[in-house]
Structure 1
């Protein structure tokens, strides 16, 4: 009986995991497109509730603490909560990955800083964004993670455009990255 070498088995397992992640992302993209077309004009979501719910799940799943603060009171946006949840999950997971095992991640929510918008700020104490990402819009397949595929940030960028929002990426002077997502506020 011929046995596969351990490195080939490991390579196949990595490839299978990558394919599974791509399938999930493709499903998310297709579902988001359908949701936006059919429900974007009608569903109102409370960003604060979605963030708090996601943080509770992510903190348990990742065994990590994420600091959360909010400023303002009207956090209503016109977007399906499922899509908003996916966007927030991607941003927080990216920050947790960038910050490393013991790094700091903070999520802030503000409805007063940018008039007419609910702003979500996610910052980490990682190494920051490469200049190539800061110089242009996120593109497919560009990743800084060993097991990443580069579709998460691109998904968030496209989603923000679909709902009339804006995604901004920057590096903090003290180190780390800041992602700012501005979504049009209802009311």
Structure 2
């Protein structure tokens, strides 16, 4: 029984903040409770002279109209109606219109049950987006004014009214306070829920990437021994039989060397699971260090690094794994330019995202690479493996980023990684550290 009651009153908290059907079901259930409360209030209202007997037919008629409206909504939902966000506002407006009419018939703003009207400011802040919530709050204030102007004062309240100049500002402040606090709490909870959902998605991606890394490392280890044995046997066969110039034997050795290179890439540091620990890093500094290191190894190819906008650009990334991904992109750019043109690396950003762009002056992205982005072993290079770009794409998905392949208008290829900026997370961490330090002091 208690479980059924808890399920009946469970708030509309779902993984999707735009789940209109869940919100509407919850509102219909609350309305049934309110309708029942209004029915049971008739006898006490008559006993304490808060409702004149001549107004009972109108009072009951309003309750029946609201019950009919609620029943129609309930049946529509049962039949599979998929409402849009707009009906939530319509439903709440019907509630405050019916409740205001009942209050007007039983003392208006001086009715002891008038705080029930203010509860709808809470419901509006919870169930409606900001713009519709503000519109609903304005309509609620009109209802508050209406129950003062058109109130039917019953005998039980005669001579007990608070002056309107005092009552209306007080009720206005109560409704406004309820709405502001609830709207703030609702937006905060929605943001937290969104962050939690993103964190879970990121964790799922990282777990998948780690599984791929563990699988690749295991396969590389299992194939390494027989592959090395085959290479040694072929080399010994060539020496013992003077077959160093044999074309078939050389082809077999080249293919074995290619297999060894593929296994080396699969088992390399870029796919090791222990390199995927997330930390907040300044991307502009990390990119600068990686590019400086590559320039030291390839001094003949200039790498031009440019930071646009207003750094620092802080992002939540696995620094070692991300550095390897950047190295892969720059290596691709150097190969595409044949080592004869500079490679441009640009870090830019806005309030929510940071972009890392690596551009070359080669022939642009091959159509096959674009169409098969995210698939391993896709390459148009005769000596390529097809794992470098696949790794960058997999890592981007794992950390909630996006990889885009574009062609430059002036010629060449452009790879852009768009990452979510870690401003919100950093502020939360700083706030937590500040609170902890104040507690320790």
Name the TM-score class by shorter chain: 0.7 to 0.9
Compute the displacement of 1:136 (Å): 4.3
Does the CA-based 8 Å contact 2:376-2:387 persist in structure 1?
Answer: yes
2:405 to 162, 165, 169: 169
Out of 283, 286, 289, the residue aligned to residue 53 of structure 1 is: 289
CA distance in 1, matches of 2:365, 2:387: 15
1:109 aligns with 2:347: yes
Counterpart-to-counterpart distance in 2, 1:18 and 1:50: 33
Judge conservation of contact 2:374–2:393 (CA < 8 Å) in 1: yes
Name the counterpart of 1:67: 304
Bigger fraction of residues in strand: 1
2:360–2:413 CA contact under 8 A, matched in 1: yes
Output the TM-score relative to the length of structure 2: 0.38
In 2 relative to 1, CA 11–175 (structure 1 residues): closer, same or farther, beyond 3 Å?
Answer: farther
**Cα drift, residue 25 of structure 1:** 3.4
Aligned mates of 1:10, 1:59 — CA distance in 2: 35
Say whether 1:157 aligns with 2:393.
yes
Aligned residue runs from structure 1 range 62-141, under 5 A: 62-63=298-299, 64-71=301-308, 72-112=310-350, 115-141=351-377
Greater helix proportion:
2
Deviation per CA, 1:51-82, whole angstroms, max 9, x where unpaired? 11111121121222111100121321111210
- TM-aligned CA distance change 1:13 to 1:61, over 3 Å: farther
Corresponding position: 1:185 with 2:421: yes
In structure 1, how many angstroms separate the alpha carbons of the residues matched to 2:298 and 2:259? Answer: 20
Give me the whole-angstrom Cα distance separating, in 1, the residues matched to 2:321 and 2:274. 11
Does the Cα contact within 8 Å between 2:280 and 2:317 map onto a contact in 1? yes
Work out whether residues 139 and 154 of structure 1, in 8 Å CA contact, stay in contact via their aligned partners in 2.
Answer: yes
Q: Secondary structure at the match of 1:57?
A: helix
Shift, 1:19, TM fit:
1.6
Distance in 2, Cα, partners of 1:146 & 1:9: 17
Residue range with higher mean Cα deviation, 172-181 or 126-135 = 126-135
Q: Deviations over 1:126-165 (max 9, x none)?
A: 0111122223423211112221111110100010000000
* Distance in structure 2 (CA, Å) of the matches to 1:97 and 1:22: 21
Conserved 8 A contact 1:18-1:147: no
Moved more, 126-135 or 80-89: 126-135
Matched, 1:2 2:241: yes
What is the CA distance between 1:16 and its match in structure 2?
2.5
Measured in 2, the distance between the counterparts of 1:152 and 1:11 equals 25
Q: Please list every run of 5 or more consecutive structure 1 residues that lacks an aligned counterpart in the other structure.
A: none
CA distance in 2, matches of 1:14, 1:104: 33
Answering whether residue 228 of structure 2 is matched by residue 24 of structure 1, we say: no
Compute the displacement of 1:99 (Å).
0.8
Q: Is the 8 A contact 2:374 2:394 kept in 1?
A: no
Scaled by the length of structure 1, what TM-score is found?
0.85
Deviation at 1:108, TM superposition (A): 0.3
Give 1:20 deviation, angstroms.
Answer: 3.5
**CA separation in 1, counterparts of 2:363 and 2:416?**
17
Query: Any stretches of 5+ residues in structure 2 without a counterpart?
Result: 1-239, 424-441
Greater relative contact order structure (CA < 8 Å, 6+ sep): 1
